[in-house]
Structure 1
Amino acid sequence: MSHGIPSSLRTRRRGKRSDRRGVTMTEFAIVLPVFILFVLGMIEFGRAFMVTQMLNAATRMGARQGSLDGVSSNDVVTIAKDFLSAGGINPSDVRIQVLDASVFDDTNQDPDDPPDLEDLDDMELADAGQRDLAIILAEVDYDDVSLFSPWWLGSATLRSTAVLRHE
C-alpha cells in the first residue's frame, strides 16, 4: 500500500528513524538527571517552606499562651515543641528561646539600628510584669529537617519569631 508515496521516500524515512533512535537516547540521558534534580529541588524547597510555616505556627501558639498570666517560659517552650513534634519535627533539633524585648520599648532606641536578637537576654515569663514585651524565637538547622540534605543550602537555619505583650 503506497498511498501515492514513491518507495524511495519510504525507505529514507525508515532509515532516518533508526538514526534518530540514538539521538533520542542521548537526549534522554542528558535531560533525565536535570529533570530529576529539578523535581528533588522543588520537593526540598517545599519542605523548607513547610517547616518554616510550622515554626511560625509554633511560635505564635507559644506567644498566645505566654501572654497569659501564670505561664512560665518553660511552658511556652514545651507548647511549641509539642506542636512541632506532632508535625513530625524532632523537638530536640529545635532551639526555642523566650527573649526579653524591652529594649524595643525604649523610645531612645535608634530605629535605623535595631539590636540583634542574639544580643537579647533570656526572659522568664512567670516573673514578667504587665505589658512587658517578649519575643519567642524558634530556630532549626535545615540539615536536621531536610529530606535529601541538599548541598546548595549549606548550613542554612530556618527561623521564626513571634512577639507578645504579657498580660
Structure 2
Amino acid sequence: MRTADILTGLRDPAARAEALILHYFRMCNDADHAGLVDCFTPDAVHYFPPGLPGAPWRGAEAIADGWLWCVKTLGSRWTIEKILTGPQGREAVIEWTHWKTAVGEALRGDEWYVFNEGVTKIAEIRAYYASPVDKATPVNRLHEFDYEGRGYHMLPPSPPPTVE
C-alpha cells in the first residue's frame, strides 16, 4: 500500500503524522523496500546514537536498505509502544521496541520525527536508545521500569518475513 493511500481522507495533521508512523512500522515489519522508500522524502536522514556503523542513514533508499538488512540479518521486528504527535503534525515522538529475534535481543528506545510540509513524508528521524546496548543482556531496557505492568509488548509481533 502506498503512503498516499493511508493518508487519504485524513485532514488533521496530527492524525496524518500518526498514520504515517504506523504505516512506516508496517513497512519495516513487512520488509517492504518500496513501501519504506515511499515513507520518506528522498533526502531524509535517520540519526542514531554513536556506535552504529554507517550511521546516520542518509536518503530514503539507504534507510530502506538498512531496515531490510536488519530483518534479514537480525530477524528484526518492531513494536510501537507509545505515540505523541504535535497538534500541527510536523513533529512526533514515539517509544518503540526493536526485537532482534535471530540473536535473542531486544532494544527499547524513542524516536523524534520531523515531517515534510503537508505531513505526507518523513524528513528526519532521531533515535535515542533506552540504555547503552549491552550484548550480554537479552532485552535492553530501563532499569526497574515496569514494561509489562505498563502494557508494553513482551514478545515480537510475529516471526520475521523471509527476505531474499
Higher relative contact order (CA 8 A, sep 6+): 1
Bigger strand share:
2
Q: TM-score, normalised by structure 2?
A: 0.28
Bigger helix share:
1
